[in-house]
Amino acid sequence: MDLYQKLGASYQIPIILSEKLIACTGESPSQFKLPTEKCIESIFMASFQEFEGKGLTAHYDSILDNLPEGLSILLIHPALASEEMNQITLDHPNFGAAWRAEDAHYFTSETCKDKLAKK
């Protein structure tokens, strides 16, 4: 984590720091030294439960309909449906080919475009 922060500063590029994101990996954020003024806690991403449950479209609609003011980050994994993507993500249901195709479809849709324009 220290190296990640040093590289961001050295190359003058933003890095994603978030207690919320660290917690999603199963790690405890308290074990890392994070500068609170540079952390972005308004981070959203889908889980496998959303993918299998109500679906990504409903999940993304809910996120976009309820975005807080300010900067938010939405992590997505879009890709076009193809045999190559099927092979790349073989045995990988999380962020697999079907997931990526659904992301690509949603974020290129008129519905998404309209929601973002309204926000």
Q: Are residues 34 and 6 in the same domain?
A: yes
pTM summary value = 0.78
63-94 pLDDT per residue, tens: 999 999 888 899 999 999 999 999 999 888 78
pLDDT of residue 84: 95
Q: Are residues 79 and 104 in the same domain?
A: yes
Q: Are residues 59 and 117 in the same domain?
A: yes
| Contact present, 78 and 103 (Cβ < 8 Å) | yes
8-state DSSP, 8:
H
Question: How far is Cα 113 from Cα 19, in angstroms, rounded to an integer?
Answer: 29
Question: How far is Cα 43 from Cα 111, in angstroms, rounded to an integer?
Answer: 21
pLDDT at 38 over 80: no
| Contact present, 112 and 106 (Cβ < 8 Å) | yes
Q: Are residues 103 and 83 in the same domain?
A: yes
pLDDT of residue 107: 97
3-state secondary structure of 74: strand
Q: Are residues 61 and 82 in the same domain?
A: yes
| Number of domains making up the chain | 2
**Burial class (CB within 10 angstroms; exposed 0-12, middle 13-18, buried 19+) of 85:** middle
pLDDT at 105 over 80: yes
| Contact present, 107 and 79 (Cβ < 8 Å) | no
Q: Are residues 109 and 53 in the same domain?
A: yes
- The parent domain of residue 26 ranges over 1-39
Question: Which one-letter amino acid corresponds to residue 37?
Answer: E
Q: Are residues 6 and 62 in the same domain?
A: no
Quickly state the pLDDT bin for 2 (edges 50, 70, 90): confident
Q: Are residues 87 and 119 in the same domain?
A: yes
